[in-house]
Amino acid sequence: MSVFHSHFLLPFAEPDRYQGFARRMRTIRRFERQTAAAQRQEQEKRLHTLLQHAYDTVPFYRERFDDAGFHPSQARLDRPLPIPVLTRDDLREPDAKLLSTAFSVNDLRRAGSSGTTSTPIQFYRDLEGMRDKSALQWTLNRWSGYRPGDSVLMLWGAHRDMAIDPPWKWRLYDETLMRRIPAPSGMITDEILERFRERYEAKRPKVLYAYSTVLAAFASYLRKHGMRHRPEGLIATAEVMNDQNRALIEAVFGIPVTMHYGSREVGMIAAECSAHDRLHFHPWSSLVEFDPIGDTPDGPAYRLLVTDLLNFGQPLIRYDTGDCVTLPETSCECGRSFPAAQKILGRVCEGILLPGGGIIPGITLGTQMAQMGHTFRAIARVQFVQKSLGHIHLRYALQQEDASKSHELTSICKAIDALMNDPVRWTLEQVPEIPRERSGKIRLCVSEVDASEAASFAASLLAK
């Protein structure tokens, strides 16, 4: 890791995220060097501290704990916390009920979810928690050989995460000093992939960091048009990667791809090790619970619940991520004793196919909804079903009947229309609930388009 970047540049340039960065990294490394028993002991201590803080300063949790007859000192790692699961609907409660009274609003930073499984939500983080999350994410990056100061091309599907045309001062910092080369796009077409290829060959980055769907499309494009530079590291996130796309990516680039797992609500909390056969959840940052939900074609499935041990500004305790996982049956050859998931089920976001052969990834649809600038009072969940290249069917479920329903539906359709090259026909259907997949997950986007109608690269992205 570059001493210049970790000790000086990052803390100076981005203090909200990186103040005390080197010290935090040392703290995590000390934790990782402990025995498994010592790690669990420290994790339980951190859990008690968070729960007591939530009980003392967050009205929502004081009421919830009291109703369950639960005291923070009773929490143990070897059994589920005896309180209800925290859902996205809970996070739509008025802010004051969920925020800690130990912080002023000025001490917190607001963020929002992308809405990939339902309508977007907003939440808050305290600064110390944000800084710890940044250190944890770089710890997971380090497992993949990616360190601050390494050149990286970021193939991103979310405009909100990086500016399309940033000011020159930010470009100087980001591209020259941090060596982060942004390549965002809300759409995947041959023209955009060629722009990615030109930037990739010109900059010759050490690492490719990408949305899974975008990385697969880029690999397919490079295989077709040739490639001169090979990176030393590949990191994919934001969407599940199926076996077919993993094989494609690794064949094209000649090195293994490493999956990372996280969400906007809890940050990056898990990554594959060098064995590449499971995701390890880092116990320094969170407590994960695997709640059984039944059998699937991939084996027994579990709902993934996360208690964030870093965010004290708006604690998330037993938060339902919306993801379902399968569990490994053996220990990992890397020797880590961290909780692990063999596979994340049902988070593959299909996309909307465009008549010209492009595809708008499902993750971009969720981001577009988040960019609309408000949460929804009437609409609880939505699902886009592409019936044909020119027809999108919108299923929606209500959280309450409200006069704003019509406006919210219209704004959703207009926001997605803004991504399209050509207008599409919309049909709407109100349903009691959005249907779940066999994995137990709700998908934001479902494609019913015959793959033969789309370009070959788009069809490969939709492979089951």
- Domain ranges in the chain with CATH number 3.30.300.30: 352-461
Judge whether residue 163 has pLDDT over 60. Answer: no
Which of these ranges, 152-166, 346-360, 421-435, 445-459, has the smallest mean pLDDT?
445-459
- Domain ranges in the chain with CATH number 3.40.50.12780: 1-347
Judge whether residue 240 has pLDDT over 90. Answer: no
Alpha-carbon span 303 to 317, nearest angstrom: 14
Which 3-state string (H, E, C) describes 214-258?
HHHHHHHHHHHHCCCCCCCEEEEECCCCCHHHHHHHHHHHCCCCE
Confidence of residue 172 (pLDDT cuts 50, 70, 90): confident
HSE-CB of 168 using CA atoms within 13 angstroms: 0
Helices 212-225 and 190-203 cross at an angle (nearest 10°) of 80
Q: What pLDDT is attached to residue 1?
A: 53
Helices 405-417 and 362-370 cross at an angle (nearest 10°) of 130
Ranges 91-95, 180-184, 308-312, most confident: 308-312
User: What is the token pair recorded at 457?
Assistant: 């690269």
Judge whether residue 159 has pLDDT over 70. Answer: no
Query: Are 196 and 217 in contact, with CB atoms under 8 Å apart?
Result: no
Judge whether residue 6 has pLDDT over 70. Answer: yes
Judge whether residue 460 has pLDDT over 50. Answer: no
Query: Are 313 and 100 in contact, with CB atoms under 8 Å apart?
Result: yes
Q: What pLDDT is attached to residue 459?
A: 44
Alpha-carbon span 254 to 332, nearest angstrom: 24
Per residue in 23-36, pLDDT (tens digit) is 999 999 999 999 99
H or E stretch at 300: strand 299-308
Q: What pLDDT is attached to residue 372?
A: 63
pLDDT cut 90: percent of the chain above it: 55
For residues 391-395, give the mean pLDDT. Answer: 94
Alpha-carbon span 374 to 5, nearest angstrom: 36
Confidence of residue 267 (pLDDT cuts 50, 70, 90): very high
For residues 416-430, give the mean pLDDT. Answer: 88
Judge whether residue 161 has pLDDT over 70. Answer: no
Q: What pLDDT is attached to residue 160?
A: 46
Alpha-carbon span 434 to 416, nearest angstrom: 19
Per residue in 281-338, pLDDT (tens digit) is 999 999 999 999 877 767 888 889 999 999 999 999 999 988 888 999 999 999 999 9
The Cβ of residue 383 has, within 10 Å, a number of other Cβ atoms equal to: 20
Higher pLDDT pick, 173 / 195: 195
CA–CA distance from 396 to each of 51, 277, 322, 335 (Å)?
35, 36, 17, 45
pTM of the predicted structure, to 2 decimals: 0.81
Higher pLDDT pick, 460 / 267: 267
User: What is the token pair recorded at 228?
Assistant: 């001169």
Which of these ranges, 109-123, 238-252, 263-277, 331-345, has the smallest mean pLDDT?
109-123
For residues 185-194, give the mean pLDDT. Answer: 80
Averaged confidence pLDDT in the chain: 86
Judge whether residue 457 has pLDDT over 50. Answer: no
For residues 136-158, give the mean pLDDT. Answer: 90
If one looks up domain 352-461 in CATH, what number appears? 3.30.300.30
Judge whether residue 395 has pLDDT over 90. Answer: yes
HSE-CB of 150 using CA atoms within 13 angstroms: 21
Q: What length is written for the chain?
A: 464
**Is domain 1-347 classified as CATH 3.40.50.12780?**
yes
Judge whether residue 461 has pLDDT over 60. Answer: no
Q: What pLDDT is attached to residue 204?
A: 95
Confidence of residue 348 (pLDDT cuts 50, 70, 90): very low
